[in-house]
Structure formats: C-alpha cells, structure tokens
Structure 1
Amino acid sequence: MTMVCSGFLTQGRMTAKGLEMPGLPFTVHPGHVNVVKDEKLREHARGKMLEQVIEGLTVQPAEAAVVTEPAQRDIIFEGSFDEVQEHFLQHEWSEGLPVTPPTLARVEAFLKYTDRSPEEIVGTLLPGNREATIWNIAVNGVMSGCRPEYMPVLIAIVEAMADPVFGVEHLGHTPGTETLIIVNGPIVKELGFNFTQAALRPGFQANTSIGRFWRMFMRNVAGFLPHKTDKGCFGGNFRIVLAENEDAAADMGWEPLSVDLGFRRGENVVTITSCTEATQAIEVGAPTAEEILRNIEARMADNHLFIQFFFRGDRTRPTIVLTPAVVKVLTDAGYTKSMVRQHFYENAQLWVANLSGMIVQRFYRGIEAGNRPEQIGTSNELTRYIRMVGHPDDILVVVSGDPDRDHVMICAQNGFIGQPVSRKVQLPASWQPPRKPA
C-alpha cells in the first residue's frame, strides 16, 4: 500500500507498473500535505484515506493488460514527412519539435559508427522498465537530429544514464532536475563541439542535438512523460552539452575534468551530473585572485547548492564552470585547481537563517542525526555560517565559455539524485574523424 498526494497518483501508478507491480493499491491525500494544517491532515487520514487503506489491503486487484512493443526492425508507420510528425506526436514519441524520421537506412548509418551489436543491452531504465539497447540509442539519435558519427558519444551517455549511482529513476521528481552533460577529449574538436563563447547556447549541432538526445531517450526509453511519470513542478528544457576548453586549461597548467575523475589525459570521456539549480556569478573580475574567489563564493552561497540533502548526510557535488579569463587570473596568482577547490570548500558558506522554514526543520534533523558535523556543526543555532559540501573534491571544476569574459556558471547537484557518473567513449576500430566542411 502506498500513500501519495493526489497530484502524484498518475505518476505513482505508472511507476508501480514499471516496477512490475501494476496492481499496487494507493491511498490518496487530496492536494499537497505541505499546505494543509495538521488537523485537516488528520481529518483526511481518518476518513477517505483510511477507507482506501482497508480496501487496498483486502481486495485483490484486477489483472493488468499485457502490452507488447514492436521489434527492432518492424515498420511501425508509413507516410509523408508531415504525417510522420503527427503520428509521433500522437504517440508521445516527440517532445513537440519536428523529428528526423528514423528509417532503417538512417538507423543503419548510425550503427556503422560502433562495433557493438544492435541487440546489445546497455541497461534497463526506470520508470518504464525498458531495455536501453544499441539499436534504440541509434533510433533516438536519428530522431534528435544527431549525425551518425555522434553514435559513440550517445552510447557513453546512455551507459552513464544506466549506472545505478546516477539514479535516473528519480529524475521525475518535483524540482524537475535537468542533467548537465560534459564532454572531454580529442572528440570535442573532431565532432565540432563549441567550447568557447556561447558554450551552452543552441547553434552548434553536436552540443545541441546530443543535448536533445538525452531528453528524447529519457522520454522514449526510460519513460519520463510530463503529466504522467515526470512530475517536475516547472521543469526545464534539455541542456546543451558542455564541452571543456582543454587547450585553455592546459595553457594555464590545469588538467581537464576527466583527469580529475580518474581518466587519462587524451581519453574521450562523457560525464553526466544533475543540475537542479543553475546560476551565474556575473562579472566576478577583480584586481586580485582572492577577490575573484570571494565573488564566486558569494554566489555559490546564494545558490544554496540544494543543501537540504546535505543535512540528510547525502553527498552534494556542485559544478563550477570558469571561463579562461577567470582561470588566467587565478593561475597567475599561483592557484592550482586543487587550491581553488579548497578555497571554495572553506569559504563558500551559507547563512543558515536564510533558509526557508521546512529546510530549517531538515537542518535540525540533520544536527540531531549527527550528519556531517565537520561542515554543519552540532548546534541548532541559525545565526551562523556553515560549509556547503563535505570535501573539496566534491566540487567539479570545468573550464569553458567565453575566453574574454569574467562570468562563472554554478550548477547545484541534487544530493541523492544524479551523482556524477563518467564513461569513456568507445570508438570503433575503423574510426576516422569526420572531415570538416570546406
């Protein structure tokens, strides 16, 4: 028996079906419990909700209908381009933008860029409980407007998505977490990723179409559908892929993110991480590196880094994207990347009294449970500062964006949802970097 608020009933039923419990009974609270007084909550619980509990535990649910899905090479529709668009919209296989029809010829073109079998299962994804395969990666890559040569990157993304550490099944939650995809290695230049000015702006095919692929695959294979399994209160669009400016980082003596995460320099790597809140530290430039760091840290504290999960004892891993102009000032002053992370760890501190009432209650519970005393302390006193992450290495630092601007992007990672996961991009034996247009 599961208890839900009324706004989550459809999501609950579809999630239960994906977990192979299609007959799971529910008791439903009308509206959201956070905006109801305690006495009203008790009244609901003693009335209709109690009746639903008794019925759910004593009445056998009806048998669920068996649904079969088409095989890989089945032709599911034939028609004009416009008719294909309408068919896909009606079946919720499109997010509303035109798709490239995934004909067999187009899918086969993608499969030429991997040595892996089309039938290979990469993982099983909730809430839909569907298998992610090399074949349906190619299909959704076609639909998203990707080029065939992007296929190795798409496979690495899905491998990371399927890793239990990432926890893809949680991404339909209320905050509507989006995913930041970061690419490292020679493939950044080989596939034409933008990694300088407008690094996260649409307009570059690799960054844009691969970002769209993430959301398309989440929809069509994992099974996240708005108003159904995806209950993001506001949600967001797909994120453009972020490519690191490794040349700029190397010029200033910094290793790329992929090396920080355990890979060798020169390896092609994809990293995914949740980004629930994103903000910019605008014009952080100052005469000294210390002032620049303080300016960034002030905005990190404003961002809160989704700190309620830190109070629960979960690990939070924010991503800080620095432009080359900012890194140049820091490295000229002798700062290594580890020194920058240490500075952020020690000085990006939150004034506890700024938290909302419910999060203050979670703070109190975290103190009572003894969670992370080195960072949040042991006192219930609210008029004090606390650290926002558990260790300097919890902060991901990436160099990208306009080389001549002093802006910084801050992405708050969501604690137990979407921990950073990286995968090496496996290129086919016959890989040749695509020729750039004349």
Structure 2
Amino acid sequence: MSRQEADIEGVTNSFYREGKTDGLPVVPPSEERVEQMLEGTDLPRDDVIGRLGTREGALTVEKLAVNGVMAGCLPIHMPLLVAGARALADPQSNAIQASVSTGSWAYLCIVNGPIREALDVNSDTGAFGPGFRTNRTVGRALGLAYKNTAQINPGEKEMATLGNPFKFSLFAGENEERSPWEPMHAERGYDRDESTITFAAPNSFLQYQFKAGARSDQEMVESLIQHTPPNMLGLKTETANERYEGAQLEVFYALCPYNAQELEGYTKAEIKAYIAENARRRADELFSVDLGSADADDGLQPLWGRQFQDPDRINLFVTGGSGRFNAVMGPTLGGPTTKRVELPDDWEALLERYGDELDREWGQASSE
C-alpha cells in the first residue's frame, strides 16, 4: 500500500469516527489540496457564505473548500459550490428542517445556464443517475458542508425515521437544449445566459412511464396529475415568511424531452394552471397540514380538496434523455431558492488548467 493510499484510509477512518463523513471514503483535505481548491474563487478564505443549522453555523469559504476536497471536487467546482451553499444558507430554503426532520427529506439541486457545459453537468441521459463527476461530487460536497457545519449526525440531530437515499445526490442540470420552454432560472428572474443553481428539499421521488402510442395532449397532462401522490401538496399558509414560519410546500415535475416537446403548443404557465385547477383528491386523502382546521361544530366539510393552492406551488423543468419516463418530486419543505453562479476573474485559465480532469471517452449525449 502506498503512503497516499494509507493516508486516505487513515483520514477516512478518523473522520468517520468523528462523524465528519457520509459513510463513504473521503479525499484527505490536506493544506495543499485545500489551497488548490481555493484557486476556484476570488473570495477571501475567511469570508462567511452563510450560517447553517441553528447555533454552530458559520460556513466560511475555506470550510466549503475543505468539504469540496473531501467529496472529490475540483477547483473549477468552487463557483458552483459557493452558489449552492448560498442557496442552502438562505432562510427560505428551510434546509435545517430538511436536514433534521423525521420526514427524511432529500437535497434537490437543479443547474441552469452555461456552467452546465463548462463543468460537464449531466442534463441528458441518466441525468439524476451515477457516472458524472460534477453531479456526484458537488451534490455530495454541499451535503457534507451542511452536515459538518451544523454538526448533524443520524440519531443526534438528524432524526429521519427511514432516511432518504437521495439525501445528497438528487442533482442534475436542466436539458435546456431539448426543452420547448424557457428554462427554470429564466422563470425565476435570471437571464438565460446566466448560470444558477436551484435548491429544494423534496420528500419523495416517483418515476413513471408515459407509454408510447397515439396519445392526446389531454392524456399527457392528465398523466402528470394521475401520478402525483396525495401527500404531494402545494400550499403556502399566511404565516409563511422568510424565516420559514408556517407551511410552504411545492412540487417539482421533471419531464423528459420527448414528452415535453409533445406539449410545446402550451406554455409552462398554462400547464401549471391546468394542474392546479384539476388536481383534486378526496379531502381525507390529502396530506394533513395544520391550516387552522374547522371544529366539528362548523357543520359538514367538503369531500374533495385541491392538491395545489395555486400554480405558483408547481415547478416544471425538462431533464434527461430519450425515452418516455417522467418524475414527480415533493412535497418540498421550504424554498425553492435560486442563486447565481459567480465566476472568478481567471475562470478561463482555471478551465484550461483543470478542465481536462472532466474529460471522458464514454457517453455520447443523445439527440433527436
């Protein structure tokens, strides 16, 4: 065993005992590796990106770099890591409740803009699956940064009843090139040529197939409603605010390019409005959220309820490759929060220096 291999084994074992890992091996965050990681940002190493958790909280640029090294990131990942950390630290993300609740929430990250190509973010075939370095390492690094900054470990602060296999890995780019609609970040007020990362915390991920054959637009949109479980509500109570007081739940629909293109005659707004109006369930099926429920003396209660309070509680984006599989994710707990990716002054030089570490000889993106 080489000295380097021994160091990796020793650091992994030590960090695991101290609760600083996600259970997988980590790259030792040596001074040299952290210094190299910090090349990816113009921010001072002691700059506080935000506060994570409750009391422990200050995430500095240096701490983020340490966790990025541990997760296997490259220096060119730092701009995306900083933006993701800012999204996590935004009080509207409610990342603390998603990190400690018994509800077992995941970290969903959606990347938009030119940074997808620069960092080889998978937005096509297998977008949410394994295989791409940026998707796997950046999502993992953001999870480690939150976990280690807020000092959260299962059975101590994290009380997830079952846990979530997507906790730090629900990370993909939007397939803007094959989408008939404006991308998510443009919907949220950013220019198309800007790069962003959007964070949300869904509880569940459900994938389904819209079968091939002669199908109408009506059936296509109906399938979105039919495959949305009753627990996936979209609502915002009057008490919800930037500190996340009150309930604020949303749902994300991930459409494959093929099915999205079949609906190109409609805008996202039209589809969302249709879903919000027509997604109805028996009232006793809907996930229970305390909205100041009526007393028994208030008389007969309605049998049917709307799953979505309004279209703003619905998010629609295109990702993945060829095929007819779509997914619905939710309900999300707080957010979503979107942050701009800000590049350092020497970005082109950094890409030239480290970009070849993302080169691959496999996996040709599909096209139609």
* TM-score under structure 1 length normalisation: 0.72
What CA distance in whole angstroms lies between the structure 2 residues aligned with 1:367 and 1:421?
33
Tell me whether 1:264 sits opposite 2:178 in the alignment.
Answer: no
CA apart distance, 1:309: 7.5
What CA distance in whole angstroms lies between the structure 2 residues aligned with 1:401 and 1:160?
23
| Runs of 4+ with deviation above 4 angstroms | 306-313
Cα deviation code 1:292-311 (max 9, x no counterpart): 111111111x2421469869
Q: Partner residue of 1:396?
A: 315
What CA distance in whole angstroms lies between the structure 1 residues aligned with 2:19 and 2:178?
42
What CA distance in whole angstroms lies between the structure 2 residues aligned with 1:128 and 1:239?
26
Unmatched tracts of structure 2, length 5 or more: 1-5, 240-245, 362-368
1:242 pairs, out of 148, 168, 172, with 172
After the TM superposition, which residues 33-182 of structure 1 pair with which residues of structure 2 at under 5 Å, given as runs?
Answer: 80-171=7-98, 172-182=100-110
Structure with the larger helix share: 1
Identity %: 28
CA apart distance, 1:419: 1.4
AA of the residue aligned to 1:344: I
CA apart distance, 1:123: 1.3
* 8 Å CA contact 1:322, 1:407 repeated in 2: yes
What CA distance in whole angstroms lies between the structure 2 residues aligned with 1:423 and 1:232?
27
RCO comparison, higher one (Cα < 8 Å, 6+)? 2
What CA distance in whole angstroms lies between the structure 1 residues aligned with 2:36 and 2:25?
20
* 8 Å CA contact 1:284, 1:408 repeated in 2: no
Cα deviation code 1:147-200 (max 9, x no counterpart): 211000000011111111112221201101111011000010110111111111
1:208 pairs, out of 133, 136, 141, with 136
Q: Which has the larger radius of gyration?
A: 1
After the TM superposition, which residues 405-416 of structure 1 pair with which residues of structure 2 at under 5 Å, given as runs?
Answer: 405-414=323-332
Cα deviation code 1:195-243 (max 9, x no counterpart): 1111111111011111111221121112221010000101113223121
CA apart distance, 1:393: 2.5
Unmatched tracts of structure 1, length 5 or more: 1-78, 369-377
Root mean square deviation, CA, Å: 2.4
Q: Partner residue of 2:345?
A: 429
Tell me whether 1:316 sits opposite 2:229 in the alignment.
Answer: no
What CA distance in whole angstroms lies between the structure 2 residues aligned with 1:265 and 1:256?
7
* TM-score under structure 2 length normalisation: 0.85
AA of the residue aligned to 1:383: L
After the TM superposition, which residues 226-375 of structure 1 pair with which residues of structure 2 at under 5 Å, given as runs?
Answer: 226-237=154-165, 238-249=168-179, 252=180, 254-283=181-210, 287-300=215-228, 302-306=229-233, 314-331=247-264, 334-355=265-286, 359=288, 362=290, 365-367=292-294
AA of the residue aligned to 1:96: G
* 8 Å CA contact 1:310, 1:388 repeated in 2: no
Cα deviation code 1:378-430 (max 9, x no counterpart): 9853532x22222212211110012x22221111133xx33101100010011
Cα deviation code 1:19-56 (max 9, x no counterpart): xxxxxxxxxxxxxxxxxxxxxxxxxxxxxxxxxxxxxx
What CA distance in whole angstroms lies between the structure 1 residues aligned with 2:169 and 2:252?
14
AA of the residue aligned to 2:23: G
